[in-house]
Copies of this chain bind each other. A is one copy, B any other.
Amino acid sequence: MSETQALVPHVVILGAGFAGLTAAKALAAAPCRVTLVDRRNYHLFQPLLYQVATAALSPADIATPIRSILRRQRNATVLMGQVEAIDRQRRQVRVEGRVLGYDFLIVATGSRHAYFGHDDWQEAAPGLKKIDDATHIRRRLLLAFERAETETDAATRDALLTFAVIGGGPTGVEMAGAIAELARQTLIDDFRAIDPGQARVLLVEAGPRLLAAFAPDLSTVAQQALEKLGVEVRLNSAVTACSMDHVQLGDCETVATRNVVWAAGVMASPAARWLGAAHDKAGRVQVAPDLSLPDAPEIFVIGDTAAVKQADGSPVPGLAPAAKQMGDYVAKVISARLRRQPALPPFRYRHLGSLATIGRAAAVADFGRLKLTGRLAWLLWGLIHVWFLIGVRSRVLVALQWLWAYVTYQRGARLITSPGQPAD
């Protein structure tokens, strides 16, 4: 590091998800150095991760190397590594043994799936947050059909062909729809001993309706669209037990299944612990109106890691647009401080709308007064997701593969890959 560089204020950003990456890019023209730290070498477009898990897309289609996104931003450095500790007194972060001093720190380390006191369910009911989760779930889903094909015991075969998705939010709705399509459309001609079309797909929701963040009539539309695909929707059903061969709903019902997917809840990353900061029960850090820590104006927490309230007191939802808005906002706050400009007004979340797709040519879109369903909502969903993907390459590849899948009813990424395969 040259001496001039050392005099330039240093902004360290932890996490290259939507929030952290947006902040890094928004600081391009600010009088500072930026170091973006992530334990992966890529930014992941999480809204489409379920399509990797259901064999429609490849991991690389929705993941972009962080370095290549920021290659032309000369004030930005990328560091791949795991955050180990934050020293607020010394204003330092430790990343795999290296110590980074900071003038401003932005914590955007996201969230992970949570089992609310049932961490032992993790093996039986994997969640969907990372690429490795997605290829793991893909492997399990596809192997279930392979094993059912050669299974001679009828009960085991039925359990192999029963799929239970836990959680009726957008991820759960999209997963259940995609699994039903995989079984009833993609795989329908591929087996000789079993009929994949007979696979049972359950979507289990503890609350009284699917897509609780949407208008109630859209919840009904989504449920009907899923039921048309052959998904059994179970509302008001809490999961009370979960193992490798069954899931228990409420007090009485036991469903024999070898395939449970967890989409029921998330927990913030351990940022509150690193920071020694106050947090809510989902682990999200309590922040001041400008998203900084109440007792440390040089530290900001944004994205899924922060507990932020809207004007009406409801929490800002864990959506990509919210994360990006926070990233943009703190970049502006930091720029203003560096330039000794007046402080910005408090962060205000602008809700742009909610979207969820339910398989082929069906979706629900809730833009407040404007509500869309069916093919139009589905087209909009596709356009918006392709638009927000990073880079021409991902956009073209994803759009083309969707077109191909739409025309042929096939899914292109049906690979059962390691771990668990014999070494050779």
Contacts from A to B (Cβ < 8 Å): 39-42, 58-61, 63, 65, 67-68, 71-72, 77-82, 98, 112, 130-132, 135, 142, 146, 149-150, 187, 189-192, 392-394, 396-397, 400-401, 404, 408, 410, 412-419, 421-422, 424
**Contact A412–B82 (Cβ < 8 Å):** no
**Contact A415–B63 (Cβ < 8 Å):** yes
Closest 7 CB pairs of A and B: A58-B58, A67-B190, A60-B413, A71-B189, A65-B414, A58-B60, A80-B146
Partner of A98, one of B41, B65, B81, B150: B150
A392: which B residues are within 8 A, CB to CB?
A: 404
A142 to B78, CA, bound (A): 14
**Contact A79–B150 (Cβ < 8 Å):** yes
- Shortest A156–chain B CB gap in Å is 14
A-B contact pairs, 27 of them (CB 8 A): A40-B416, A41-B142, A41-B415, A42-B414, A42-B415, A59-B417, A60-B412, A63-B415, A65-B190, A67-B191, A68-B190, A71-B190, A72-B189, A78-B190, A79-B150, A82-B422, A98-B150, A112-B424, A135-B417, A393-B408, A394-B412, A396-B400, A397-B397, A397-B401, A400-B400, A418-B419, A419-B419
Number of copies: 2
**Contact B58–A150 (Cβ < 8 Å):** no
A404: which B residues are within 8 A, CB to CB?
A: 392-393, 396
